[in-house]
Amino acid sequence: MSTSEKIREQCQELILTDKQMEEIMRRVLKEINNGLHKETQPTADVKCFITYVQDLPNGKEKGKFLALDLGGTNFRVLLIHLKDENDFEMLSKIYAIPQSIMLGSGTQLFDHIAECLANFMKEHAVYDEKLPLGFTFSFPLTQLGLTKGMLARWTKGFNCSGVVGEDVVQLLKDAIARRGDVQIEICAILNDTTGTLMSCAWKNHNCRIGLIVGTGSNACYVEKVENCEMFDGYKDPNKQHVLINTEWGAFGDNGALDFVRTEYDREIDHFSINKGRQIQEKMISGMYMGELARLAIVKFTKAGLLFGGVGSDILFKRGQFFTKYVSEIESDKPGTYSYCRDVLDELGLEHATDEDCANVRYICECVSSRAAHLVSAGIAALINKMDEKSVTVGVDGSVYRFHPKFHDLMVQKIRQFVKPDISFDLMLSEDGSGRGAALVAAVACREAH
């Protein structure tokens, strides 16, 4: 057996069979139903948080809105002016969140955000106006209303004290009040998946699912209120639907994905800061994809199947094979390896042969295809559950946006597993967490007035 054949044989475990896909779809559905029902929700992995967003944009929203987008190592403040249908102006600025604040106190975090908000309002001459704000907060939230959300747990490298179990809207309001210099009305708190769905629905009224495949992975979808036993408070009889934030990154925390997990998945989990949590996310998202590929490459190098058995210090160091490398390596035209060689050179593997390049590329393809297929199993399950004849899925996130084949892999797989009479399409979201937040605030204002 040739070296390449040995590598291909050992990569089989990274390839999901149709049978496995069907089983994953069954399990996703079961977990989502557990999250929707009162008696199973407390112990469910996939929490299916109610967002209390019941109105999609109709394109008639107008006015100036602020949006705040916090979901990763930096956050954005946006000023959005909605004009006529599908016409808007947007100004935004990105602010860094230093590691010391990501791991510091909640007070420090929200004071930092409030300060940046005030500076932004000064810069754009809206310092004296009272503007509605939509707050995208892309961490697991238990929502008790459109403007009340308790942080369930930190993810993605954050660990600020004094925030878990608290209402993050109140924490932001308190920080703004401590400054006492700007007037802001927080109209809604939402997750980036909700923002993605709203942003796409503004352009395409068929949008029923919002999906993120970026640093993390999550989805939200439109559910019938009657299926949402956790819906709290007044139910408007004219509103039959509500958006559900699945928080499906936690799918598999109870072992539901163990039958397809590999040694690489177990190693990533073992060295993560949230061991045993967000199991599906760790098999899909950009935070882990490069590391999954690195672990396989290291294994095959140590077995003498890659680079003549000679690795490098960088290759053997955790976290040094970035997810963007996977996208770059797969961007090479078949039979050419210019991007691949650039990456391997950066890793100190100048001695790689063409065969090594082909094998590294194959490993990357296995890891990224598995991610796309796992996401597709979830989306196909949701589309079949909603059973509407035509559905648009709004998608955002760096992996979906920048990986050269992710979109096509998903369309192909979803088509294979969705009921034959249902048509669907995937639409790249234009700035869901920014414009989407403003739209949720705009719709909330439209409803309130």
Which residues are known catalytic residues?
156, 192
What are the two backbone dihedrals, phi and then psi, of residue 432, each rounded to the nearest 5 degrees? Answer: -60, -45
| Exposure letters 218-244 (e unless 16+ CB within 10 A, then b) | bbbbbbeeebbebbeeeeeeeeebbbb
**Residue 131, CA atoms < 13 Å, CB-side half-sphere:** 27
Q: How many CB atoms lie within 10 A of CB 405?
A: 15
Q: How many CA atoms lie within 13 A of 141 on its CB side?
A: 32
Contacts of 13 (CB under 8 A, 6+ apart): 262
Closest CA to 153 of 39, 257, 277: 277
**What is residue 134's three-state secondary structure?**
strand
- For the chain, the farthest-separated pair of C-alpha atoms sits apart, in whole angstroms, at 73
Q: Of all helices (H) and strands (E), which one includes residue 440? A: helix 437-448
Edge-to-edge strands, sheet with 184-190? 88-96, 74-82, 63-70, 131-137, 184-190
**Residue showing tokens 């006015």:** 63
Q: List C-alpha distances in Å: 388 to 36, 139, 218, 384, 420.
A: 19, 29, 21, 8, 12
How many Å apart are CA 413 and CA 392, to the nearest integer? 16
Given a contact cutoff of 8 angstroms between Cβ atoms, the answer to whether 275 and 311 are in contact is no
Q: Which stretches does DSSP call E strand in 358-429?
A: 390-396, 423-428
- Contact in structure between 145 and 80 (CB atoms under 8 Å): no
> Phi then psi for 426, rounded to 5 degrees?
-105, 130
CA dist., res. 150 & res. 106, Å (int):
13
Helices of type H across 60-191 = 99-102, 106-123, 168-179
Q: Which is it for the CA torsion 358, 360, 363, 364, positive or negative?
A: negative
